[in-house]
Structure 1
Amino acid sequence: MQMPSTIKVEIKRQANPNAPATTEKFEVPYRPGMNITSLLGEIALNPVDVTGKPTTPVTYDSNCLEEICGSCAMLINGKAMMACSALVDKLTGPNKDQTITLAPLSKFPIVRDLSVDRSVLFENLKTVKAWVPIDGTYDLGSGPRQFPQVQEQRYPLSNCISCCCCMEVCPQFNDVTNFVGAATIAQTKLFNLDPAGAVLKEDRLRALAGDGGIGECSFAQNCVMTCPKGLPLTEAISDMGRDVFVQKVKDLFAR
């Protein structure tokens, strides 16, 4: 079968947060095995649209190029995906004639073009104290031992790459609910299971019990279907919902 010579791509662009959004169309030379990141690189090499008009290279975030850093998340053909692992051959249809559409994540402030400000996730992680509270530069010795069963629970949660895809597809993540999202809840479980991190367990659960916490989750399960790393997000949400309830009962009787 004759392979296509070019790939059609349509990109939603915005020069700055206050500029009007526009759409530009490109045709990029096809190569087998291309991903969206390499496609954007081809545009950067020759930033000319389909009409032959010179334009600017498309701004987007990327770093590791192997689905680890989480920075290249965007809407690809309307779905929240990682640009580095989204293969062109799987996005253009069987005849390679379908136009690929690219747009920034819709629930985060625009920086420029496909780049968005996802700092809300990191602020949410601060709210639930998603870290192990160990200070000092001195040698603390070996850490506390963990049962293999606990390690098996923690390892999948540690694979979160902070891509925010779960937040993008969540119907409850918006300015009205201030819902922290599945990623933050999953990291709460991760650090609550840590022998050293458990010292802050009650603080984390109280944070999830508050405004925008776990009570806002409608359990739509869009997050677990979208997560590029296959994290057990609905299980984490369910477990944290139980723990938050138990903590609220404890706090009630401790008054």
Structure 2
Amino acid sequence: MARTIKVEIKRQNTPDAAPVTEKFEIPYRPGMNITSLLGEVAMNPVTCEGKPSTPVTYDSNCLEEICGSCAMLINGKAMMACSALVDKLQGGDENKTITLAPLSKFPVVRDLAVDRSVLFENLKKVKAWVPIDGSYDLGAGPKQAPQIQEQRYPLSNCISCTICMEVCPQFNDATGFVGAASIAQAKLFNLDPGGSVLKEDRLRALAGDGGVQECGFAQNCVQACPKGLPLTEAISDMGRDVFVQQVKDFFRR
């Protein structure tokens, strides 16, 4: 018999609907990832029980681990669907069922698609951008030392996937923690010669509720980050800078 892949998908038609689990059996192809598996479901949305269903809703764009949109829980672990390979997930056990579910710490839109706008609201809080006066040509920017470039480059690889927030025990409604990604981006723009004009504003934002003091250094974020960002190092550095800024503000009163 031809090899097949069994997959269980947690589905939800609307944000308020009760979740259900549907099981599918998909023809196996070498080199399949979760994105291609979901594509097979879309072409033939019939469950293992022979019940007609619908294509699974999920976010995706680049299909090469750059856009960060296809993050979901795969076998209970937060991963990118485009880089999660079926063979690796099954670990040599062809009968192992793959489970898919939406990220658990964000409101479900439908099926595997969630609303991650909280990340972008947090990026606004820490002013994670380089301010400019307008769209006209501002000329050559200030030079950066190679040492600063080496610190900034890894942080610039953040793809806003929110996996670091999903795995963080401190990221919840009770703490309002902004998450590792926002703190790392604050460090990225504080190191930028143009972005540093907002450095004090960013540090004061991170000194407030939900700021860097909420981090418990569980280090789940740095282990789960698909791009290998130095998140715990960024949090530690920003914690130091926030403290120094608070001392400066105290003596300025």
Q: TM-score, normalised by structure 1?
A: 0.98
2:4, 2:114 → 1: CA distance? 28
Pairwise CA distance, 1:137: 2.0
Name the count of aligned residue pairs.
253
Pairwise CA distance, 1:135: 2.7
In structure 1, the residue matched to 2:135 is 137
In structure 2, the residue matched to 1:127 is 125
1:249 aligns with 2:247: yes
In structure 1, the residue matched to 2:113 is 115
Q: What residue identity is the alignment partner of 1:78?
A: G
Percent identical among aligned pairs is: 82
In structure 2, the residue matched to 1:217 is 215
In structure 2, the residue matched to 1:227 is 225
Pairwise CA distance, 1:249: 0.2
1:126, 1:182 → 2: CA distance? 14
Q: CA RMSD in A?
A: 0.8
Q: What does the per-residue CA deviation read over 1:42-98, in whole Å, with 9 as the maximum and x for residues that have no partner?
A: 000000000111001100000000000000000000000000000000011213210
1:37 aligns with 2:35: yes
1:244, 1:96 → 2: CA distance? 51
1:5, 1:88 → 2: CA distance? 13
Structure 2 residues not aligned, in runs of 5+: none
In structure 2, the residue matched to 1:174 is 172
In structure 2, the residue matched to 1:76 is 74
Q: What does the per-residue CA deviation read over 1:147-206, in whole Å, with 9 as the maximum and x for residues that have no partner?
A: 000000000000000000000000000000000000000000000000000000000000
2:177, 2:135 → 1: CA distance? 36
Q: TM-score, normalised by structure 2?
A: 0.99
1:147 aligns with 2:154: no
SS at match of 2:91: coil
SS at match of 1:91: helix
1:58, 1:126 → 2: CA distance? 31
In structure 2, the residue matched to 1:102 is 100
In structure 2, the residue matched to 1:158 is 156
Q: What residue identity is the alignment partner of 1:128?
A: V
1:135, 1:14 → 2: CA distance? 45
Pairwise CA distance, 1:139: 1.2
SS at match of 1:207: helix
2:128, 2:159 → 1: CA distance? 14
Structure 1 residues not aligned, in runs of 5+: none
Q: What does the per-residue CA deviation read over 1:13-64, in whole Å, with 9 as the maximum and x for residues that have no partner?
A: 0001110000000000100000000000000000000011100110000000
SS at match of 2:120: helix
